[in-house]
Structure 1
C-alpha cells in the first residue's frame, strides 16, 4: 500500500483523471471538459444548489433547481421575488429555514454587492445562511480556491482511505485534516466534486465498489477488510414523539382555509392548515366553531429532532367567513396542494383519499 502522505499529488491526479471520465451530469455543474475550455461555473447556481442539497439528495433537488433557475435566473431575480412565491416553490424540500436564509442571502448580495458573490471563503462566510461547509464548497467549485470540502460522502471516503474507526461526529476535525492533505492547488474545484462523486457512486455507504475505485491501492480499509463498516457513528438518541391536530375546512364553492405559520420555527412562513400546538397532549384549537369531524387515520411525519402524529379534523367552511390576519382563503383555482409543506400535504392526501 502506498504512503498516503507522500503521494497526495499523485492521488489527487488519479482522482481527477477518473473524474474527467466519470463525472456526474448535474444541471448546476460545469463538466470537466467544459472547464478545460475556459467555461466557469455560475456562483449563483453553485450557491443555490449547495443550499438545496443540504440534508437532501441530488435526485430530490434536480427538479427544484430547474424550476428555481427558470423562474429566477439570477440572484438579482431571486432577491426581488415575493417571499410567499419562494416558500411555495421550496415546499417539499424541507428544512424551511434554508429558504428564508436563501432570500436573506440573495438580498444581501443584491443590495450590498450589486449581485456579485464574494470569491473567498471568508467573504462567503459573512453572508446569511452560509456556514463553513457551504462557504468551502462555493469558493472551491465556483472560484477554484483550494478549500477543503467535507460532506457526508467525503467523510466516508476519508474514513475508509485511512481506516479511521473513531466515530462521527466527534472525528470530523480529523477527517477534515485528512481531506485537506489531499486537496490540490491545481483544479481544486474539479477535485472537490470528484471526491464527492467518488463517495456517491463508488465508495457508497453499502457495498462499496472497491474493485473499480481509483483509490483502491492506497485504501487502508480495503486492505484491512473494514471498508463496509466505516465510518463509525455515535448512536443517536431516540427521537421523541409529539402530537397535534390540524383542521381542514372547505366551503361548498371549493374555497380552502389556510394559515401562514410564524416566520420563526418549523415550517416558518409557510401556508398550512390551522391547528394546535405540537406537544405531548395538544389542546383542541379549531379556527371556528363547527361540528368538526375526526377524519380517521392519522398523519405521521418525522422532523430532524422528533416524530409527529397529527389528527385530522374536517368541517365545512361557512360562506362569508372572515379570516384572522394570519389566515387566508384560497379559492379552488388557486389552491395548489404541491405548494404545501410535506406534512400538510399528507393531511390533504388523507382527506382526499377518505
Structure 2
C-alpha cells in the first residue's frame, strides 16, 4: 500500500527504473503531437513489434497531419491493411481533416479539444496531453489497470465503473507535477515489461508497495469480467476467373469491412456443402452461375468474437454475361491477380491472396 509519506519514494523508484529500462521506440525519439497520436491509435489492439513496423511505414507515407488529410480514404485504409479494427484508420482520417479545417492544421493542445477528435477517448487524450504537451494528465490503459489492481489488491472486476474511477483518481494523486510524460510512460512500461499477465515480481521496482505481492495473490489480479465466447463459423468463397482476370466486389460503406474489396462468399448453411454454399452465395450476390473447378485453400482467421474457416475455390462461369447484378456490393471489377495488391481486402481474403501467390495454381489465376 502506498501511504501519503511514501508517494515521493514510489515515484522516484518508478522513474529511476524507467530511465534505465525504457524501450527505444520510434515515437519516443521525437514527441511531436502527430507522432504521439498516431502511435497511440495504432497500438490499440496491436502488438508492439507489429506496431513499430506499421508506424515507421505510416510515417514514410504520411509524415504529418496534412498528408493524412489530403489522402483519399482508400489510401489510408490501404496503409492500415493488416492491422485490423479499421475504424481506427477512418477516425484518423476524419480527425486529420478536422484538424486542418478547425485548428488551422495545428494539433490542438487543450485536453477537451484533443478528446473531441474522432476516435480519441479518455486514455488517448490523456496520453497525448501528457506525452506530447507535458500536461499533468493521467493516461490509464490496460497495463496501468493491471499494475494498480495488484498494487492495491482490487478484488472486483477492474473494468467496473467505480474501480476505473479509483484507478484514475489514484494515478492523478501520484502524478508528479511537470513529469507526466515520464510517469505515464513508466507505469505503462512497467505493466508491459514486468507486471504483465505473468508477473516478474523479482524485477519490480515498486514491489515493496504491492499489496497483492504481500498477500501472495499476484496472479489472481486483475479480476476480469467474463470474456465473450468465440463463435466458430465456416465460410465459402472463391476466385472467379474469366479471361485471365479475377472478380472482386466492393462492400457497402456501412457495416463490417465497410468499403473494402472482397471475393463474394458467405457462411455455409446447415446441411450444405462448401461447394454448394459458394455457388449459392455467388448467385445471391452477383447472379453469376459459377462452377467450382477445385478447392485451393483453407484459411483460418479470427476477428472480434468469431473464428472463421474460409474454404476457397477456383471458379469458372457456367455461361452467360460477365456483368454482375449486384445486390449488396456497391461496385465490382475484373482485375489481374497481380493487381490485387492495390486493393484493400479483409485480412482473411488477403491471406488467401498471399497463399496463392506462392502456389502452383497462380499461373492458372493469371489465365495460363
Q: TM-score range by the shorter chain?
A: 0.7 to 0.9
- In 1, Cα distance between the equivalents of 2:290 and 2:308? 25
Q: Are residues 1:69 and 2:59 paired? A: yes
Alignment of 1:100-119 (within 5 A): 100-119=90-109
Deviation at 1:320, TM superposition (A): 8.8
1:219 alignment partner, one of 205, 210, 233: 210
What's the secondary structure of 2:196's corresponding residue? coil
- In 2, Cα distance between the equivalents of 1:338 and 1:230? 44
Q: Are residues 1:285 and 2:290 paired? A: no
Q: Is the CA contact (8 Å cut-off) linking 1:294 and 1:311 kept in structure 2?
A: no
| Structure (1 or 2) with the larger CA radius of gyration | 2
CA RMSD of aligned residues (A): 2.7
Alignment of 1:232-247 (within 5 A): 232-247=223-238
Alignment of 1:250-289 (within 5 A): 250-253=241-244, 255-276=245-266, 284-286=280-282, 287=286, 288-289=288-289
- In 2, Cα distance between the equivalents of 1:145 and 1:174? 21
Q: 1:195 to 1:314 in 2, by over 3 A?
A: same
Deviates more, 1:294-303 or 1:106-115: 294-303
State the aligned residue count.
342
Deviations 1:199-224 (A, max 9, x none): 11111211x22222111211111111
What's the secondary structure of 1:24's corresponding residue? coil
Which has the bigger relative contact order, CA under 8 A and spacing at least 6?
1
What's the secondary structure of 1:329's corresponding residue? strand
What's the secondary structure of 2:208's corresponding residue? coil
- Higher share of residues assigned helix: 2
Q: 1:344 to 1:23 in 2, by over 3 A?
A: same
- In 1, Cα distance between the equivalents of 2:44 and 2:78? 18
Deviation at 1:252, TM superposition (A): 4.7
Deviates more, 1:179-188 or 1:85-94: 179-188
Q: Are residues 1:160 and 2:150 paired? A: yes
1:183 alignment partner, one of 159, 164, 175: 175
The answer for the alignment partner of 1:310 in structure 2 is 310
Deviation at 1:302, TM superposition (A): 2.0
Structure 2 alignment gaps of length 5 or more: 362-368
Q: Are residues 1:210 and 2:197 paired? A: no
Structure 1 alignment gaps of length 5 or more: 31-39
Q: 1:221 to 1:63 in 2, by over 3 A?
A: same
Q: Is the CA contact (8 Å cut-off) linking 1:156 and 1:230 kept in structure 2?
A: yes
Alignment of 1:1-354 (within 5 A): 3-30=2-29, 41-170=31-160, 171-206=163-198, 208-253=199-244, 255-276=245-266, 284-286=280-282, 287=286, 288-293=288-293, 295=295, 298-316=298-316, 321-322=322-323, 326-336=331-341, 339-349=344-354
Deviations 1:218-271 (A, max 9, x none): 111111111122111122232334443323223453x33222222222212222
- Higher share of residues assigned strand: 2
Deviation at 1:43, TM superposition (A): 0.6
The answer for the alignment partner of 1:37 in structure 2 is none
- In 1, Cα distance between the equivalents of 2:131 and 2:10? 19
- In 1, Cα distance between the equivalents of 2:58 and 2:321? 36
Deviation at 1:53, TM superposition (A): 0.8
Q: 1:204 to 1:156 in 2, by over 3 A?
A: same
